């Protein structure tokens, strides 16, 4: 797929995996729209991408945890005359710990970002791409999508939605010339763990890949038209094991693996 000179929208773009995904596209000559909540961080990243890669970069501050945010973001870009050929739905966060201990409002916000806004953005921009007869959509899922995860119950369920949604759209939109790929990372050295309140064990940290490496895996898979990709061999083995082992054993293993280090 030729992406040089086309526009990509990257959500959750101020740091970690989002910033690396934007950089991976920019170095391939793609113009970038950066969207996240913090305008200052967006401006700093935009300046770096312009300097390093010589591409056009626009910023659109947006809080996808707010109702109607996805529709508003689509409207603003349409008004600016920006045709998005690549959508990277990266925005998302998790809550770690017992589900019943989380404030209802915090869980609602997480589901709006991880599921509702992702779905709305995919519908809005995916429809534009289908009408144009070309485009690509990368949905950022998670390794947790492959198994029920005690201590990440709602988050893992939201990512299971992303996985199944994306794989179904890969089939649905293929005839319209739109590629859809789901990227499922494992644990990474980003701000996710701090936001989630999770202190992973040394064993779990040993499986970490850098956000830059995960971004390259995801963009390469998207450009090859793959349905989905799990980043990292150890994570691929974990995903396969979750599908083959008895469910009761998987639950016990995930509970132990995802508990806070102590």
- Residues marked active site are found at 155
| Whole-angstrom distance, CA of residue 54 vs CA of residue 260 | 43
- Residue 22 C-alpha from the chain's centroid: 12
Other CB atoms within 10 Å distance of the CB of residue 112: 19
- How wide is the angle at C-alpha 204 spanned by C-alphas 198 and 210, nearest 5°? 90
Name residue 34's beta-bridge partners: 10, 59
Whether residue 184 contacts residue 160, with contact meaning beta carbons closer than 8 Å, is answered with no
Spatial neighbors of 12 by CB under 8 A, at least 6 apart, are: 18, 35, 36, 64, 90, 91, 92, 140
Q: Between β-strands 84-89 and 135-140, what pairing exists: parallel, antiparallel or unpaired?
A: parallel
């Amino acid at each position: 797929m030729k992406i040089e000179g086309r526009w990509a929208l990257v959500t959750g773009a101020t740091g970690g995996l989002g910033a690396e995904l934007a950089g991976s596209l920019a170095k391939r000559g793609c113009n970038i729209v950066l969207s996240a909540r913090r305008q200052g961080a967006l401006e700093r990243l935009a300046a770096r991408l312009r300097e390093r890669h010589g591409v056009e970069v626009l910023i659109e501050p947006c809080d996808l945890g707010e109702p109607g945010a996805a529709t508003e973001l689509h409207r603003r870009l349409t008004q600016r005359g920006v045709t998005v050929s690549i959508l990277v739905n990266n925005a998302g966060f998790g809550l770690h710990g017992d589900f019943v201990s989380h404030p209802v409002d915090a869980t609602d916000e997480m589901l709006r970002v991880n599921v509702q806004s992702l779905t709305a953005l995919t519908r809005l921009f995916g429809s534009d791409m289908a009408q144009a007869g070309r485009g690509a959509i990368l949905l950022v899922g998670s390794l947790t999508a492959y198994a029920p995860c005690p201590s990440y119950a709602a988050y893992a369920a939201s990512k299971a939605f992303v996985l199944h949604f994306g794989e179904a759209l890969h089939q649905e939109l293929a005839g319209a010339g739109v590629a859809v790929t789901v990227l499922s990372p494992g644990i990474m050295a980003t701000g996710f763990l701090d936001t989630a309140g999770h202190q992973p064990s040394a064993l779990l940290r040993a499986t970490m890949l850098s956000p830059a490496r995960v971004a390259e895996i995801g963009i390469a898979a998207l450009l090859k038209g793959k349905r989905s990709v799990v980043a990292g061999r150890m994570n691929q083995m974990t995903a396969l094991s979750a599908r083959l082992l008895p469910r009761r054993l998987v639950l016990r293993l995930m509970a132990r693996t995802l508990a806070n280090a102590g």
